[in-house]
Chain A
Amino acid sequence: MTPPPPPPPADEASLIAAARAGDRRALDRLLRDHQPRIHAVCRRITGNDADALDATQDALIAVVRGLPRFDGRSRFSTWVYRIATNSCLDELRRRRRRPVVGLPEHDGVPIALPDHRGSPVADRVVDGLAVDAALAALPEDFRAAVVLRDICELDYAEIAEVLEIPAGTVRSRIARGRAQLASQLAGNQTDVRERPTSTS
C-alpha cells in the first residue's frame, strides 16, 4: 500500500488553503465541518426536508466551485452562510415556480390528525411543526434575518454582509420577524381543537 499522505491540517485557515490548493481531503473535511450549519439554515429557511436537502446540496457545490474565489475578507463561516442563504432563497424561488398538485382525494378536505397530546414526543413534534409553520408564514426576508440571528447567532454586521443589506435594515427585519413569530407562536399555545381550521 502506498504510504499514507500527510493528514489535512487541523485549523480552518490551513484547511482552506490546502483545499484551495487541490487537497481533496482538506476539501472533504471543510464540507463535512460546515454541512450541519448549512443544512440547519436551509431547513429553517426552506421549511421542509426535501427543499432543504436540495438547497444544502446546491450550497455545498457552490462552496466547492467558489472556493478559489474566496478572498478571506470575511470569515469563512460568514461566506458559507451567505452561499447557503442564497441557495435557500433560490430554492424557494424555484419552488414558487413549480406547480403545486395536491392529492385529489385530499384536496380541500381537512385531514383528521390523531390526538397524541400529552405524549412528550408528540408534543415536541407538534412544537416543531408549529415552529416550521410560524417561520413559513414570515416573509422570506424576515425569515432569513431571524434564522441567521437566532439560529446561526451571527451579529448584525455579519447578517448585513450575508444578506447584503444595511445593518439598520437587519435590525428592522429581525424585529418585525420576531414580532410576527411571537404573535404566531402565542396563537399556537391555545388548545389544538380550538384553533380554526381551513374549512371553518
Chain B
Amino acid sequence: MTDPRPPLTDDELSGALDGETAPDVSARLAQDPAAQQRSAELRAVGDTLRSHPVAPLDPTTVDQLVSRALAEADVEPGSEPETGSEPATGQPGGPSPVVTPLAPARARRSAPPWLVAAAVVVLVAVGLGLVWSGQRDDRDQASDTAALAVDEDAGSGGGSDGSDQESATSEDEVSAGRGDDAPAAESDEAPVTGEAPPLTDGLRSLGDFPDEAALRSALASTVPTGRSTTSAEVPASDEVARCDTQVRHVFDLPDPPTATVLATIADEEVLVFGYERASFEDASTPTTFVTVVDPATCTPRLSFERDPG
C-alpha cells in the first residue's frame, strides 16, 4: 500500500537534519529512498560549508581590530547608536545602520574633558609665544638682532629689557615644545617648561615600513635602536605626551613608556610606545606591550603584547 501523504518537503528534510522536526518525519524518511537521496544532498551542503573554514586573521590585523574597538570604549555614553538590540532590517524611514562606519565613528570620538583642558592650555601657551614672537619681529628685526648680539657679548649684565627676555623665553618654550620650528642644534637643549624631560628627547626613528605587519615584525622581540631623527621629523612633545596619556588610559597601563620611537608606515608618521607591564594573559609574567599610534589623533593603529618567551 502506498503512502497517501505528499512526499517530504525540503523544509521537513532540512529540519530533520538539524533535529528540528516532528518524529514522524524521521520514520517516513527511513522508508523513502527518494527522500533519503534528497536529504543526503542537503546534508552535503552543510558538510561542504564546514569543510571550508574561514582562514583566521593574522595577528597584526586582530591587534588592529581590537585596538580600535577598545579605543571606542572612551566614547561618551549616549553618543553612540543602539547596537545589538535592533534588527538591521525593516526599520521605518529606510535603513538605519546598527553600527556606524569607522570613519564617522572616529570623527565623533571625544576626548575626556581633562584632556581637552590640557590641550587648550598648551594651545594658549603656544599661541601666546607666537604672538610675542610676532610682536618682536614687528618692532624692528634689525635692532633686535643687534640687541641680541649685545646680550651675547654682555652676558646677563644687561642690554636688553624685560620684554626681550620674556620674548626669548617664550621662543625657547615654543622651540622646545615644537621641534619642527627649532634648529637641529637646539633640539637637544633641556626644555624650559617641563619638570620631566619631554618624551621627544632623544626620539629616534625606525625608518619606513610598507605596512603594519612589517613594523610589527620589526618590533616583535625588541624596539630597534633606529637612527637619529631630524628636528623636522619629531612631533611636538605635547603630542607625544597626549598620545602616551591616552594610550595608557585606553589600555589601563600604569607606568610610562620605557621606549618611545618614531616610524613611518607607507610614509605616514607613527609613534611607537613600549610599556613594561604584566602580561594580559598571565599577570605573573612581565612583558612589553607595544602600541603604534597616529600622532595627530592618538588612534592606535597596532597594539600587541610581546611574547614573554
- Give A residues with C-beta under 8 Å from B: 1-2, 4-8, 23-25, 27-29, 31-32, 35-36, 39-40, 43-44, 53-54, 56-66, 68-70, 79, 82-83, 85-87, 89-90, 93-94, 124, 127-128, 131, 135, 146-147, 149-151, 155-156, 163-164, 167, 171-172, 174-176, 178-179, 181-182, 185-186
Q: How far is the CB of A121 from chain B (nearest CB, A)?
A: 13
Q: How big is chain B's contact interface, by range?
A: 35 or more
Partner of A36, one of B10, B41, B56: B56
Write out the residue numbers on chain B whose beta carbons fall within 8 Å of the beta carbon of A66.
82-85
Given contacts A24-B250, A151-B49, A182-B45, contact A90 B10 (CB under 8 A): no
User: 20 more A-B contacts (CB under 8 A) besides A2-B255, A65-B80, A179-B42?
Assistant: A4-B283, A4-B284, A6-B283, A25-B280, A28-B66, A28-B70, A53-B61, A54-B102, A57-B65, A61-B72, A69-B82, A83-B99, A86-B86, A146-B49, A175-B11, A175-B14, A179-B10, A179-B14, A181-B49, A182-B41
Q: A130 to B118, alpha carbons, bound, how many Å?
A: 56
Contact A64 B50 (CB under 8 A): no
B62 interfacial by beta-carbon distance below 8 Å:
yes
Partner of B101, one of A28, A32, A94, A172: A94
Q: A88 to B18, alpha carbons, bound, how many Å?
A: 24
Interface residue SS majority, chain A: helix
Q: How far is the CB of B254 from chain A (nearest CB, A)?
A: 4
Q: Which residue of B lies closest to A52 (CB)?
A: B54
Write out the residue numbers on chain A whose beta carbons fall within 8 Å of the beta carbon of B97.
90, 93-94
Q: List 13 A-B pairs, Cβ < 8 Å.
A: A1-B255, A1-B277, A6-B283, A35-B62, A36-B56, A62-B99, A93-B88, A94-B97, A155-B18, A155-B20, A175-B14, A178-B14, A181-B45
B226 interfacial by beta-carbon distance below 8 Å:
no
Q: Which residue of A lies closest to B77 (CB)?
A: A68
Contact A171 B14 (CB under 8 A): yes
Contact B54 A7 (CB under 8 A): no
Partner of B83, one of A40, A65, A178, A186: A65
Q: A147 to B88, alpha carbons, bound, how many Å?
A: 17
Write out the residue numbers on chain B whose beta carbons fall within 8 Å of the beta carbon of A174.
14-15, 18
B123 interfacial by beta-carbon distance below 8 Å:
no
Contact A44 B84 (CB under 8 A): no
Given contacts A64-B70, A66-B83, A90-B88, contact A4 B277 (CB under 8 A): yes
Contact B280 A176 (CB under 8 A): no
Interface residue SS majority, chain B: loop
Partner of A61, one of B44, B49, B69: B69
Contact B84 A70 (CB under 8 A): yes
B75 interfacial by beta-carbon distance below 8 Å:
yes
Given contacts A24-B251, A24-B252, A44-B54, contact A178 B102 (CB under 8 A): no
Q: How far is the CB of A91 from chain B (nearest CB, A)?
A: 9
Q: A39 to B55, alpha carbons, bound, how many Å?
A: 9
Partner of A62, one of B54, B70, B83, B286: B83
Q: How far is the CB of A71 from chain B (nearest CB, A)?
A: 9
Write out the residue numbers on chain B whose beta carbons fall within 8 Å of the beta carbon of A29.
280
Q: A6 to B54, alpha carbons, bound, how many Å?
A: 34
Contact B65 A35 (CB under 8 A): yes
Q: A124 to B48, alpha carbons, bound, how many Å?
A: 11
Contact A7 B84 (CB under 8 A): no
- Closest CB pairs A-B (n = 6): A4-B278, A175-B14, A62-B83, A60-B69, A86-B88, A7-B283
Q: How far is the CB of A95 from chain B (nearest CB, A)?
A: 12
Contact B102 A57 (CB under 8 A): yes
Write out the residue numbers on chain A whose beta carbons fall within 8 Å of the beta carbon of B41.
182, 186
Q: A93 to B254, alpha carbons, bound, how many Å?
A: 42
Write out the residue numbers on chain B whose beta carbons fall within 8 Å of the beta carbon of A56.
57, 65
Q: A126 to B74, alpha carbons, bound, how many Å?
A: 44
